[in-house]
Each structure stands twice: as C-alpha cells, then as structure tokens.
Amino acid sequence: MRKSDGEVIDWFILSFIVIFLFLGTFQRNFVWNSEVELWKDCAKKSPEKERTHHNLGFAYHKLGWWDDGQQEYEQALRLNPNYSLSMYNLGLIYYEKGLLDEAIDHYKKAIELNSNSPDCFYNLGLAYYEKGLYKDAIKAYKKLLAVKPDYENGHNTMGLAYKRLKKWDLAIRSFREELRVHPDNIYARLYLGESYEAIRDYPEAIAHYKKALSHPGLPDAEKISKVVLTLEAAQRQKKGKEN
C-alpha cells in the first residue's frame, strides 16, 4: 500500500483586490497543509474520479479513521469496480477491525483483479493464519513466493503455519530459506531455535538462539538468554546421565 503524491500548484493571483488575494492564499494554504483536507478538496472538485476518493480514503486510513477510510474506498469502487488497490485496502481495514471473513473476501477479490500483487497474498495468508486455517495460509504464502520469492518474512510466515501444524521439517526448511534470502532476519533465527527446541534438538536450538542474541535489537533478549541457560543445563544433565 503506497501513498499517492499530490502535486502542489503555485498559485499566482493577479488582482488589485487585496482582500481577495489574502482570502485566496489563506484558503489554499489550509488545503495543502493537511493531506485529508487536500484530498477532500480534490474529491469535492472531481467527485467522479475514483483516484481522489481512494487517496482520501488512504489519508483517513493512515490516521486510523477506518470508517471514513472505508466509505471513501467503497466510493472509489462504485466509480470503478476494477480498482484493485481500493479493494485490497478495504481488506486491510476489515482486518484491522477484526472482521477476518470480510478481509479474506476482499483480498481474494483484489487478487482476481490483480494476480501479481504479493501484498495481497501475504495479507490473505495472515488472515487465514489468524482464523486458524493454516493449510489455507500455506497455500496463500506459496502463491506469494511464486510471485516474489524474496518477499521479506514470506518464508517465515509460511514456516509459522507449518509450525502450527507440527510439520517441523517443513517449518525448519522455511525458516532456513528465509535466512538464505535475508541472512540478517533475527526472527528466522528465533523460529529455528523454537522449532529445534520443540523436537528436542537442543544443540541446534541453542546455536540459533545464540545467533539471535548476537543482534543488539533482539526483542525479549533476557527471556531468550534464560531459555539458553535452561537448555544448556538440560544438556549437561543429559551428558551426566550418559556418563
């Protein structure tokens, strides 16, 4: 979802009426000082252009004014039912409202209009995942990666769905593929640590957790450090029993 830029117009008012000059400049500055006001002004002047309603909807959307954004996206679609970006953004608003079925429906319609949009597949997968429909999520992620194999966190999200299904080999393969494409992805390291810990391969789990801990921006680093200490203690205990 990308912002559409409005072009600022330089207004040169050639008039000897000072009051008119002042009022005109004030009004124009007010319009351009607010993105919402800018696109409201455009929509008022060009009510039959779907792009202006879409951009006004996006301005509302960014402010978290979902109902207003939804209304403008819907107006854009009334003017042009094939406007895939408005369809997709409506899906985002429904997702943010927690209306997952409606979000899925709009993502699917957006894909029908534009089958080469990786964001649509990614967010469709997220909605399926949140509903617990992990197999459907995996299908969406596979389509995403067919369109854009290097989509950041695309392999991670597919791996998380496999993880939910306890398909550990496929989950681990997905997380490793994420690292191949994005070597600095610390979440892939964490997910690998969790997956190896789940199958009791503690040496691999510890190795990946430690690599994740080497990143200064790791969230919950203290918690991960405690997990590593616990696993290392379990390893020592296991070796002691074997000896």
Quick check: 159 and 191 in contact, CB under 8 A? yes
* Alpha carbon distances (Å) from 65 to 36, 144, 170: 11, 29, 40
User: The whole model's pTM is what?
Assistant: 0.80
Q: pLDDT 10s digit of each residue in the chain, 243 long?
A: 433 333 322 222 222 333 344 444 444 444 434 887 776 777 788 777 888 999 999 999 988 999 999 999 999 999 999 999 999 999 999 999 999 999 999 999 999 999 999 999 999 999 999 999 999 999 999 999 999 999 999 999 999 999 999 999 999 999 999 999 999 999 999 999 999 999 999 999 999 999 999 998 888 899 999 999 999 998 888 777 776
Q: What fold does the segment set 40-133 form as a domain?
A: 1.25.40
Q: Which residues contact 44 (CB under 8 A, 6 or more apart)?
A: none
Q: What architecture does CATH give domain 152-243?
A: Alpha Horseshoe (1.25)
* Distance separating alpha carbons of residues 127 and 141, to the nearest angstrom: 11
Residues of the chain with CATH 1.25.40.10: 40-133, 152-243
Quick check: 195 and 175 in contact, CB under 8 A? yes
Radius of gyration over alpha carbons of the chain, in Å? 25
pLDDT at 39: 65
Tokens 């680093």 belong to 221
Quick check: 161 and 141 in contact, CB under 8 A? yes
